[in-house]
Amino acid sequence: MNLFIAESQNGRFSKELHALRGIAALVVFFVHLQDRALDAFPDLWFPSIFNGSAAVVFFFVLSVLVVGMSLAKTWGRDHFLIEYGIRRLFRIMPLMVVMTTIGGLYLLFVNPHMPFPLYEDSYGDFSISKWIAGYIGYSMKANPPSWSIFVELVGSLLIPLMILSGRSARSVLVTLIGLTLLIFVDFDSQHRWHFYMISFYAGLSVLYWGRPLATYVTQMKQQFFWGLILLLAVGFYLMRFLMDGDMYGNPWMPLWETVMVTPLVAIIYYVPDRFSLLGKHIFQFFGDISFSLYLIHYLWIAALYNVMFLLMETDKIFLLLYIVLAVPTAMTLAHISYKYLELPFISMGKETFNRFVKRKAR
């Protein structure tokens, strides 16, 4: 019996984790919003309260728990891998195609005339080949946040193999150790994708150990329960700030963040009644628009910033107006994208697979 497949049969949609996905997207958004503000006011001090790296690791852990559980539920059905592939493509690629196209056009025709470029010169030159590679996130020139979508695509290809490792507790442990060691292998993978496969597998492994952990923590007194939650959250989110120097590229950081956030994800998933606040409409809205906000915001706030810079003086009024305009407009664009791009293509993916099944049945 496969441990992951067996546990997935009781799987459910988690409003709480959906909400946290939205909050993670907001964290990434505010990181980049802060970076743009510093372009105008380089001497202005902003507290570093937004940890975009930790938010991305959370995305990976959560993504494979949700996607892996969905795949494991259908495991063994006719054409289940084809269904999985079609649904993933229709879920991820439409918005990637749209935003990479917009980003490439912006870089070719708009960016050269703007006072602040889309990215620093140290990132290298933009080219048509890099534009094409950007459609799967291999190059992030056309839309910098798309690097994580490349990692997501690599992880999506490996999720079926990860599920196969659930044949026994020993197989799960060996895979965990193997993917942990992979982080420290010295090779130049694109966007360091090999750093993050442990995050993916850790999320899937929640299906094995998450329920026993939840049973244990619910027996704690309330103050100890919430103390544990706070400890995990602080350890996950703040460690990068406590370390000196630039920690990007340090293999220990994604590993640490994975170790801290995965138990947190497991507890929230299996003990939803303790986190009912996350089920409120506003948090569900953030969850709904999270993917669109993540891929849209960078290009939008860069364009908005440049237009405002050309139209007015860079003073405190500029900064305030920039923030006041950037937040609601980015969320509005993300909501439009979710409603008129994401949802229709998700439905189209289901219809495409159903048509495939009907043709095979003839």
- Please name which of 185, 187, 183 lies closest in space to residue 197, comparing C-alpha atoms: 183
* CB proximity list for 197: less than 8 A, separation 6 or greater: 154, 155, 158, 179, 182
Asked if residue 241 has pLDDT above 70, the reply is no
Asked if residue 88 has pLDDT above 90, the reply is yes
The whole-number pLDDT of residue 344 equals 98
The whole-number pLDDT of residue 48 equals 65
Type of residue numbered 23: I
pLDDT digits (tens, 9 = 90+) for 119-136: 877 677 899 999 999 999
Average pLDDT estimate for 47-61: 85
Are the beta carbons of 292 and 143 closer than 8 angstroms?
no
pLDDT greater at residue 343 or residue 248: 343
pLDDT greater at residue 45 or residue 295: 295
Listed range (37-51, 195-209, 224-238) with the worst mean pLDDT: 37-51
Mean pLDDT of the chain: 93
CA gap 64, 204 in Å, rounded: 6
The whole-number pLDDT of residue 137 equals 98
pLDDT band (50, 70, 90) for residue 246:
low
CA gap 143, 101 in Å, rounded: 9
Average pLDDT estimate for 204-217: 97
CA gap 73, 84 in Å, rounded: 11
CA gap 54, 256 in Å, rounded: 10
Are the beta carbons of 241 and 48 closer than 8 angstroms?
yes
Determine what percent of the chain is predicted with pLDDT higher than 90: 80
pLDDT band (50, 70, 90) for residue 43:
confident
Asked if residue 332 has pLDDT above 70, the reply is yes
pLDDT band (50, 70, 90) for residue 361:
confident
